[in-house]
Amino acid sequence: MEGEPDRTRTDPDVRDDVRRHLPRTDTVLAEPRLVAAAGRLGRGLVKAVVAQVQQRARAGEFPAAEVVERVVAALPATASTLRPVLNATGVLLHTNLGRAPLSQAALDALLAAGGTTDVELDLATGLRSRRGRPAFEALLERVPAAQAAHVVNNGAAALVLAATVLARGREIVVGRGELVEIGDGFRLPDLLVSTGARLREVGTTNRTTRADYAAAVGPETGFVLKVHPSNFRVTGFTSQAGVAELAGLGVPVVADIGSGLLTPEPALPDEPDAATWLRAGADLVTASGDKLLGGPQCGLLLGRADLVERLARHPLARALRVDKLTFAALEATVRGPAPPVRLALHADPRRLRERAARLAADLRADGLDVHAVDSEAVIGGGGAPGVTLPSAALSLPASCAVLLRRATPAVLGRVESGRCLLNLRTVPEESDPTLAAAIRQVGATAAPEPAPPRTETTLAPSPTGR
């Protein structure tokens, strides 16, 4: 009867009855849906879920007859423990969420490359070919100023390889204001010194001139390093020597652009790009592939053919090389349609506000405390510090932030001024129904709060790094 307590939770005799009727593990695993799941996920994973559900049934949480259905409901979609997360933070390149989401073209390329491929084989001749050649060709098509290209496993690795090959036992001349700390507490000077190179710091934190570099260059110089401080800004009485000023000092100029633009981006005029710095005189440009380029995690090396060949043939290059999946996703990103990060960067603020208003109205019609508000987005991921992008967000009670993180799919927003903001610039429009379903799932209804003001606090960038 309605209102009666669940005796399976309190009555020892009932719990004993549940245990007597609990199906055997092998019987549960023989159920056709679980046989199919074992083929997809692995028998060990499915068996572990069965054991967990059986334990809950023994504890009296539900009848023994529900075990199979509960197991089916508890099975993960894949054998990986990584969970999809809808990024509603307003941070385009969120380091904790894996930075750039891949385009559908890149995802399709990953799937195709998951089997056996011609990653190091020329099918026309049957002979071994250069690993990653199509990806290198794609990069050179986009950046004609580069004579050659190479790819390693991340941006830091690109600098480590350059320092090892060009400056081990020698000096790297670098401006003091460019000795940056990158993600997770790692510092660029420590990475460079770990290769056996010595740092020759020049200038001051806020001002460094070409004359400072010229005075330091000598027989012990391996190269001059130019680093774009892509995760912070120094303002006021400042000046830094540009790449064009450093060219012609008689040693190679290695330039790290950080955020990974191959060509100029009108929306981010202060962000350097590989093509421009190579034309300005850089001998080698390094960058990350999973930032503003919008591709997989990797480190790009573009520049003079002789330098790139030296780096590619060094023994360390083998330890830093990328796999076929990275090459496939990178080539598809460079040659394919605009990746999600570029679409988010160029999203129309008016359209974002229209989406927010429509979603908020639909959710309020269901009795939920949801409002459309103006907001701002940032680049994140160690790129374009200080740049904000006009956006729109859904504003919910702050308590929804935790519930949404635990939803399926998980939704990550930001808590600002006592409200949970779900920023739509980082949510693809085709994901609006998924976002709305997640909000309905958590039931953002408890203690409706007054409607927030139309303008919310500016979003702060997430922890950044190369």
Q: Note the pLDDT of residue 456.
A: 40
Report which residue type is found at 2.
E
- Cβ(300)–Cβ(158) under 8 Å? yes
Note the pLDDT of residue 1.
41
Predicted pLDDT of residue 11 = 52
Classify the C-alpha dihedral 295-299-302-305 as positive or negative.
negative
User: Can you give the pLDDT at residue 446?
Assistant: 43
Q: What is the pLDDT of residue 162?
A: 97
Which pLDDT value is given to residue 384? 82
Distances (CA, A) of 258 to 56, 272, 299, 318, 464: 50, 9, 10, 23, 11
Q: Boundaries of CATH 3.90.1150.180 in the chain?
A: 83-101+340-466
Helix 32-41 to helix 67-74 angle (10° resolution) is 30
Query: Is 426:344 a contact under the CB 8 Å cutoff?
Result: yes
Q: Please state which CATH number belongs to domain 103-338.
A: 3.40.640.10
Q: Are 291 and 102 in contact (CB under 8 A)?
A: no
DSSP assignment string, 26-82:
HHHHTSHHHHHHHHHH-HHHHHHHHHHHHHHHHTTSS-GGGHHHHHHHHS-SSSS--
CATH topology of domain 83-101+340-466: Aspartate Aminotransferase, domain 1 (3.90.1150)
| pLDDT for 186 | 80
Q: Residues in the chain, how many?
A: 466
Q: What is the pLDDT of residue 232?
A: 66
The whole-model pTM stands at: 0.86
State the CB neighbour count (10 A cutoff) for residue 292: 33
Phi, psi torsion values for 223, nearest 5 degrees: -165, 165
Domain with CATH 3.40.640.10 in the chain: 103-338
- Which tokens belong to 116? 């056996």
DSSP 8-state assignment for residue 187: B
Residue 210's CB is within 10 A of a number of other CB atoms, namely 16
Which pLDDT tens digits describe the chain residue by residue (466 residues)? 444 445 444 455 545 555 667 999 999 999 999 999 999 999 999 999 999 999 999 988 999 999 999 999 889 888 888 899 999 999 999 999 999 999 999 999 999 999 999 999 999 999 999 999 999 999 999 999 999 999 999 999 999 999 999 999 999 999 998 888 776 778 889 999 999 999 999 998 888 999 999 999 999 999 999 998 866 677 777 788 899 999 989 999 999 997 889 999 999 998 999 999 999 999 999 999 999 999 999 999 999 999 999 999 999 999 999 999 999 999 999 999 999 999 999 999 999 999 999 999 999 999 999 999 999 999 988 778 889 999 999 999 999 999 999 988 899 999 999 999 999 999 999 999 999 999 998 974 444 445 444 444 333 344 444 4
Pairing label, strands 383-397, 419-423: antiparallel
